Structure 1
Amino acid sequence: MPAAAKNLPSASLGMISLVAALLLLDRLAPDACSGVNSFFFPSVEFVQRWMPLFYAPALAMLPAGAKSLQVMDGIKVVLLTVFSWAGTLTVTTLFTTLVRRYAKARLEEAPSGISLAPFSIWEAIPWLAIGAAGFILVYVSPTLLGSPARTLIPFLLSSTVVGFLLGSFLPGPVKRFLHPVITCAIFVNAAALFFSIATEKQFLSVLGSYITNNLKDPGAGDVLLAFVGPLAISYGFLLYRQRRIIVRHGIELASVVSVAGMVSVLITTYAGRALDLSSQLINSVAPSNVTFAFALPVGNLLQANPSLVVSCCVLTGILGANLSRPLLLKATKSDDPVVRGLSAACSSHGYGSASVAAGEPDLLPLCAVAYILMGTFCSLLCSVPALGRIISK
């Protein structure tokens, strides 16, 4: 375990430490703990409201990240992602149904999650102005801010934000297939293509300025990806808020999350080898059942392709949002919301959970706890050297 703690992504370790600190403070000084939560609430609300924006850059880089990917390998990656989702959903559903025979805690009303204000078209207008000004700036003087990547930040950052906002305005049924993170990626690539045509530069060269992975010369994507860590840490406040759910459904959560995490990773690993995929491609699919804030750090731990990691997570979410509820209702032949919620949360993270919990407000907090714990467990699982070697073998 010391080795696992050493390898554990810093954001996951930070979230675990935050929960422990809040629980300790709650016992020693409840009023102080309440004050801490109130102080950080605006920050937590901010990162939760803009959450998809922070991992969208990895998906936007897919044309560059997958340029060397063979067509057949791409098809295999899609098949592996679908198989991993279906296998995890099936095993988790069966196991949760079994556990619920012995742990029969009823779903009760829980503190609601953070109520996020809907986005307004007025929020997009300033970003459109920033984008227009940014384009003129970089067109006239490409290195005005010190380098092309830094000078492109206003233009490409505004493209990302506008793409996200317009995607959030889409009707619910459309968003099941066209998630705002996808519209972000489309807008960034369209902006990069437009700029490359206007300046007669190569498209991939412009897109490469979006994420440089260089702290001294960051691009717009680097700025947004810097929020992934704080996003994961902010889940600590959400877990603390829902601590009664963790106590009430502790048996189900501990057992189901553990089994789902192991099954998800192992199914992906061995099925990927059967498809004769490279270890990097298998590792890119391995965190696909985990929420994005944990999937990216796990992917980095496994030396996966971040663009493929996010792409596979998006595909898993789309599958879960459209198929989890009808499949679960048909398979379980029961009306146990806990089975539906845990199965969806552990197989298709928050995107699938939102669809399954639609119309059941008391189920959504349980789903949120489950997919946060699923991400934490998978982070810890992949941090264990022995298991990491099995996955990356």
Structure 2
Amino acid sequence: MGTSKSCKSEELCTELLESQTGDTSTGSVIQTLRLQVFGVLHWVVSLGLILAIDFLLKKAFVAASIEFPSALFGMFCIFSVLIILDCAIPSAAVALMKFFEPGIMFIQRWLPLFYVPYLVVLPLSLKDIPPSSAIKICFIVVGGWLATLCVTGMTAIGVRKAVKTELIDAEPMEKPSPFSSIELWAWTGIFLISFVASLVYPTALGTRARTYLPFLLASTVLGYMIGSGLPSSVKKVLHPIIFCAASAEVTAVVFGFLSKSGLDPVLGYYLTNSSSDPGAGDILMGFLGSVILSFAFSMFKQRKLVKRHAAEIFTSVIISTLFSLYSTALVGRLVALEPSLTVSILPRCITVALALSIVSFFEGANASVTAAAVVVTGLVGANFVQATLDKLRLRDPIARGIATASSCHGLGTAALSAKEPEALPFCAIAYGLTGIFGSILCSIPVVRQSLLAVIG
């Protein structure tokens, strides 16, 4: 899905070339090609290692019948290794961070795409859900987002006043590179060729899922690229992830019509939940574990900030997570929402990568509804979080960052940090910690039983 160039990788490569050739000119074609090749190899190796770690951890946890999310364990391990190296050999910790930077930037660049698959196949999941239940879910998701935002923000302000810590500058966060015209045309070519080929030879790659994979994946990627390039005024109403999901949905509708197979079968091939016969959605979902692993690097980069403002961050995140889980369970019972659906939306304020792990602890949960509730929460937050925080008169960047990430995870974080970069470090920290604490809580049998008791 394209590569994000790492400036540090190119600098390292340039220094290496200069030491070997003695030529300080970086404008030559040969050096440019070498830089590009080095950058691509660096990206492939760093991202490949992250994906390999996630894959091996999953296999090990399945073999050992461990229910705790394997990626979360891996995140703790990576963070611990970085902390130990930083204490013993600081240069080694910095080198490790630089090595994995291209892979981390790739994950950050395409992060919203990993939320999309369950949103695309939502029509299949909602077939058996009565309209009245869907309305109740929307009420809980929207109302719950606002309540969680208020509780978290006020908690952060209260603790901040109590501890009286001064705000210090955070470590700068590098932004992913924008999409190029080459990437756009390349994915367009893949889409057109594979779409026509699939109409003519629907089993050219062995199965329909594999054959449909290229054009369904391309339609999703193109939707995200185009949606990301829309004017900011449009993106306030039409978030890129909505455009992305709509692009894949429209493609499935058109292909279903032209192939006379209908929409449902095409969506079924989009997300098969089968490792032996994956669809486009399965490829995207395969990155969710790597997203969790990447939290370790973000937290390590902001370790000084975490230590200095630990009281505000941890207190707010803990209270926010508890409030979100138990208020969702309680309101679900009060509005008489089906218990299985209430369980499915419990982790509505937690990033989808961990929300899906959380609901796997509960029997009868609908993962598609979970993912959709998480995405809708993020979309609501992305569109309204800044205006709502202003109305609540929450001016402190610490409170704004923590409240945003704890109530509407990554999508809300992206929307706020684009205009308020000073809040980004606190968003990043709270974003990871909310999911971590929620996962730990729900992995405890007593907590799960208490939530089920509240749900009734």
Q: Is the 8 A contact 1:7 1:384 kept in 2?
A: no
Q: Establish whether residue 323 from structure 1 lines up as the match of residue 384 from structure 2.
A: yes
Which of 335, 346, 350 is the aligned partner of 1:290?
350
Distance 1:174 1:381 in 2: 38
- Deviation per residue, 1:139-192 (Å, 9 max, x gap): 222222111111111111111111111111112232233222222211111111
CA distance in structure 1 between the partners assigned to 2:66 and 2:144 by the alignment: 28
Instruction: Tell me, yes or no, if structure 1 residue 228 matches structure 2 residue 293.
Output: no
Q: Paired residue for 2:81?
A: 21
Report the CA distance between 1:68 and its aligned residue: 1.0
Cα offset, 1:323, TM superposition? 3.2
Q: Which stretch of structure 1 is more off in the superposition, 107-116 or 308-317?
A: 308-317
After TM superposition, list the pairs within 5 Å mapping 1:356-371 onto structure 2: 356-357=416-417, 359-371=419-431
Sequence identity percentage? 38
Which position in structure 2 is the counterpart of 1:310?
Answer: 371
What is the CA distance between 1:28 and its match in structure 2? 2.0
State the Cα distance separating 1:126 from its structure 2 match. 0.9
TM alignment of 1:24-103, pairs within 5 A: 24-103=84-163
1:182 and 1:355 map into 2 onto residues whose CA distance is 14
Q: Is the 8 A contact 2:156 2:313 kept in 1?
A: no
CA distance in 2, matches of 1:129, 1:355: 31
Distance 1:128 1:358, change over 3 A: closer
Superimposed CA distance per residue, residues 30-77 of structure 1 (whole angstroms, 9 cap, x where no aligned partner): 222222111111000111101111221111110111111111000000
Residue 242 of structure 2 is aligned to residue 182 of structure 1 = yes
Are the structure 2 counterparts of residues 63 and 239 from structure 1 closer, same or farther at C-alpha, using a change threshold of 3 Å? same
What corresponds to 1:343 in structure 2?
A: 403
Judging changes above 3 Å, is the alpha-carbon distance between structure 1 residues 153 and 323 closer, same or farther for their aligned structure 2 residues? closer
Secondary structure at 2:326 match in 1: helix
Q: Flag the 1:72–1:17 CA change in 2: closer, same or farther, 3 A.
A: same
| AA of the residue aligned to 2:313 | L
TM-score where L is the length of structure 1? 0.93
User: What is the Cα deviation at residue 305 of structure 1?
Assistant: 2.5
Match of 1:218 in 2: 278
Per-residue CA deviations over 1:256-283 (Å, capped at 9, x if unaligned) read 1111000000000110111111222112
Call closer, same or farther: CA 1:325–1:155 in 2, change over 3 Å.
Answer: closer
Partner of 2:331: 271
Equivalent residue for 1:387?
447
User: For each residue in 1:102-156, what CA deviation from the matched residue of structure 2 results, as whole angstroms up to 9, or x when unmatched?
Assistant: 1222222111123211123432211111111112222222222111111111111
Q: Please give the secondary structure, in 2, of the residue aligned with 1:102.
A: helix
Rg larger in structure: 2
* Contact 1:177–1:318 under 8 Å retained in 2: no
Count how many residue pairs are aligned between Structure 1 and Structure 2.
388
> Is residue 194–residue 215 contact of structure 2 (8 Å, CA) maintained in 1?
yes
Aligned to 1:195: 255
RMSD: 1.9
Distance 1:111 1:175 in 2: 28
2:252 is paired with a residue of what secondary structure? Answer: helix
Q: Distance in 2 between matches of 1:150 and 1:355?
A: 35
Q: Specify every segment of 5 or more residues in structure 2 that has no aligned partner in the other structure, as ranges.
A: 1-64
Q: CA deviation at 1:311?
A: 2.3
1:64-107, Cα deviation, whole Å (9 max, x unpaired): 11111111000000001112112212222232222112122222
Paired AA for residue 90 in structure 2: P
Gaps of 5+ in 1: none
2-structure distance, mates of 1:250, 1:166: 39
Q: 2:174 aligns with which of 114, 124, 138?
A: 114
Structure 2 residue 438 is the aligned partner of structure 1 residue 378: yes
Residues in 2 aligned to 1:120 and 1:286: alpha-carbon distance in whole angstroms: 39
**Runs of 4 or more above 6 Å deviation:** none
